[in-house]
A and B are shown apart, each in its own frame.
Chain A
Amino acid sequence: MSKGLSLNNPESVSICLCGQAGQGIQTVEHLLTRIFKLAGFNVFATKEYMSRVRGGMNSTSIRISPGPVRAAASTIDILIPLNKGALQHVERNISSHTVILADKEMIGGDIDQTKYKFVDIPFTGTAAGIGDKIYSNVVAVGTMAGLFGIELSMASKYVEKFFSTKSSDIVQKNLAALKKGFDFGAELVKSSKIKFEIAADADVEDQVLLNGAEAVALGAIAGGCNFIASYPMSPSTGVLAFLARHAETFDIIAEQAEDEIAAINMGLGAWYAGARAMVTTSGGGFALMIEGVSLAAMLESPMVIHLAQRPGPATGLPTRTEQADLVLALYAGHGEFPRVIFAPGKIEDAFILTQRAFNLADKYQVPVFILTDQYFIDSYYNTAAPDLSKFKIEKHITRTNKDYRRYELTKGGVSPRGVPGFGKGLVVVDSDEHDTEGHITEDLELRIRMVDKRLKKGELLKKDNIPPELTGPKNYKNLIVCWGSTRNIAEEALQKIGRNDTALLHFKQVYPLAAQTAEYLQKAKKTIIIENNAGSQFAKLIKLHTGIDIDKKILKYNGLSFFVEELTEKLKEALN
């Protein structure tokens, strides 16, 4: 056994696969995460990819661990480059501990073998022997299964299930590729060349493996969503595709609109007629929806908007990540009106918050945002399955009577919402300023009452909000603040720092801010904010609402998420 090639019972093992778009990296990610989960390992996977259909360089990083693992790490324990150039693409993350499993012939001069730990595995040759180079990714899956002592029969069953719609010849060839790979992996263990031992975790079996897009979409279904109109735009499209895939089962109308303007106006028409609608989009598409956000406010229509952020301005980096559209969501729409913005940090929160978004939007007749980003949308991990008995769909529609008035003035500002055809009344909504019946008016006294009515709902929303979540000691000296998708990365970094004077405060509702916000910040001697943007947008929002300046800012805006190791270092620095 060559020295340093083994890690016994490590906290977690990071596997990185890298290759061209169209080479089946997605398939490897899918198969490996499922097979690891079946084996009882905790799994986390995330990917980074280029905005193209073929070629380029994409990588997927999978972490497996005996305990929960939920954040992106940069360290690579095992690297599988699937084509020439792959090594260079991830070189900055290769260390002296990295074991590179590669087809020597294929990567050729890409690697200085004396510099790295290198194990030659003939992925391509083996695949070619089976019938086609394209099976090399499944050979790699097999190698991993062998290396981690996973039962071949179990892995085979999953692979068979995955390819079940393909011809039996293709299934057999994939199984053969898996077996060959498995033998390579098992042989490495047997010859003590490499040894990784991950203990199975009994909790994993009953958990669900979800990515952010799936969690948002499932939360929408649980919230009673039965209408989605959207226009494709990375990284938001997964939610539309998911709901379209399950439309038949759940009586959902899932329509690809001609543009984002149509999408949100369809959503508003749908809510008006009694559906529960959402739109999913990213920054540029959302920019087109903005007049619709304002319309939702004026009609006092519920609306649920999933805004999956990617780096801008304009087209920016279409397949990368950023948290730079908070300000956009916060101020989008002309005129003054209330709104709610959620920003899930945990996969289960994406489910819970999206479910809640429908009830809240319906209850207060306001637009509710779910703000995610590419990193969150494309990352997977296993987590407890949502307990459906805890979720209720709250429908806030009334049967109208003959003298129904859509905008009746009430104490709280919320008027009972009727839908056309349900009852004896007429439902009139208008984007112009309107009277209580919904008809156009230029009565300037009434204007004041209508503005007040709409804004009053904002006061109610301030009380009906989700407080930030504190992790770590209650009597902290240092407080790390974050929001949205950085949560799990920050939490793991906090654990790594291991200080008992430092806590983490995560906001999953970023607007309206909870009343406790100032109190949390005042208690700290030092505050540090983590944001995946350049302008520290959330720190500015906090300042605006509490008057408090955050002491230190850790910002990242190169298009990638933070990584645990990097954030740990930055936090250490900031804490000293």
Chain B
Amino acid sequence: MDTKVFDMNDIDIAWCPGCGNFPILKTLKRALAELQIKPTDIVLVSGIGQAAKAPHYFRTNVFNGLHGRALPAATAIKAANPAMTVIAESGDGDMYGEGGNHFIHTIRRNPNITNIVHNNMVYGLTKGQASPTSQKGFVTPVQVRGVFLEPFNPLAVAIALDASFVARAFSGDIEQTADIIKQAIEHDGYALVDIFQPCVTFNRLNTYQWFKEHTYYLDDHDPSDRQKAFEKATETEKLPLGIFYKSPQKPSFEENIGIYDDKQVPLYQRDLNKEELSNLIETFKMRL
């Protein structure tokens, strides 16, 4: 499939020239095209932020909700119609800060969705404040003494919660990132892909160059080894990229809720069983 099917005409993209969001947009189109998934079969769900605007530049179904709230909406969309390929996509502030509680519990719930986080270690849209993943010492107009909070480690948290699929990528590497995203989409269960994304305007610390120098690809790593995955996730000297962890196959949320056990029909195609309702009401007559 040609990635052009996902292109929008006449759009005014709100990202800065050179922004790390551009390659992520391109990579996602490529991954979906290579997987032959049609625009009508995809729902891109996002919150608010510069990264969260990505779905507007993508010709497909879109649910652009509130800041931090993409995951609950994405979970429900998938549950109501499991035939859809559902991707929740936002920035690090959105997913790990405002939406931090949903991040934790979505992992526990394990819907079969892909969670793409554009991790630029800064709040872009609101002009440069610290994000949960900002590095210590990062000076901003608000963190005037430099960030002193411990950076949030999304991968370690996800692995600790036995997330179904945990990966990290770098937006500067379209080849490998497309491959990781494809595996995440094909994976049955919740899949986290945290993507390092340089912010050319507000983050002069974590630049393209910095990411190139401070990352390396996992090699010879067994993603079923949780201990090792956790160890890798906590490395800080150089940050590993690739698929850290895949938990042994566990049922997804949609499988657990039971309503798809014997029929695959989405909720919008189902109708109330009036006879059953009538029977239920009858029980409130409290007859013996």
Contact = CB atoms under 8 A, between A and B. Distances in A.
Query: Do A and B assemble together?
Result: yes
A297 interface: no
The 5 A-B residue pairs with the shortest CB-CB distance in the complex, in nearest-first order:
A274-B268, A269-B76, A269-B73, A273-B80, A258-B105
B288 A269 contact: no
Contacts of B25: none
Contacts of B268: 273-275, 395, 397, 419, 422
A252 B276 CA distance: 13
B274 to A, nearest CB: 6
15 contacts: A158-B288, A205-B287, A209-B284, A224-B271, A246-B280, A250-B272, A253-B257, A262-B102, A262-B105, A270-B267, A272-B73, A426-B39, A430-B56, A432-B48, A439-B8
Interface in A415-461: 419-422, 424-432, 438-440
Contacts of B139: none
Nearest to A418: B61
Interface stretch (B63-71, B177-185, B228-236): B63-71
B257 to A, nearest CB: 5
B288 A157 contact: yes
B259 A253 contact: yes
- SS of A interface (majority): mixed
A544 interface: no
Nearest to B65: A431
Nearest to A254: B257
A250 B277 contact: yes
A273 B274 CA distance: 23
A74 interface: no
**Range of interface residues on B (Cβ < 8 Å):** 35 or more
Contact of B56 (A206, A208, A439): A439
Of A157, A261, A385, most buried by chain B (CB within 10 Å of CB) is A261
B62 A262 contact: no
Contacts of A424: 40
B101 A259 contact: yes
A421 B266 contact: yes
B144 interface: no
Given A224-B272, A250-B273, A426-B40, A275 B76 contact: yes
B142 interface: no
Interface of B: 8, 11, 39-41, 43, 45, 48, 53, 56, 59-66, 69, 71-81, 83-84, 101-102, 104-105, 109, 257-259, 266-274, 276-278, 280-282, 284-288
A529 interface: no
Given A158-B288, A265-B69, A274-B81, 12 more contacts: A37-B286, A247-B259, A248-B259, A266-B75, A269-B65, A270-B76, A273-B78, A420-B61, A421-B41, A424-B40, A426-B39, A429-B63
A269 B277 CA distance: 26
A210 B266 contact: no
A248 B287 CA distance: 23
A430 B46 CA distance: 9
Interface stretch (A3-11, A50-58, A214-222): A214-222
Given A208-B285, A273-B80, A426-B61, A266 B73 contact: yes
Contact of B73 (A227, A268, A274, A385): A268
Nearest to B257: A253
Nearest to A432: B64
Contacts of B271: 224, 393
B272 A205 contact: no
A439 B77 CA distance: 19
A207 interface: yes
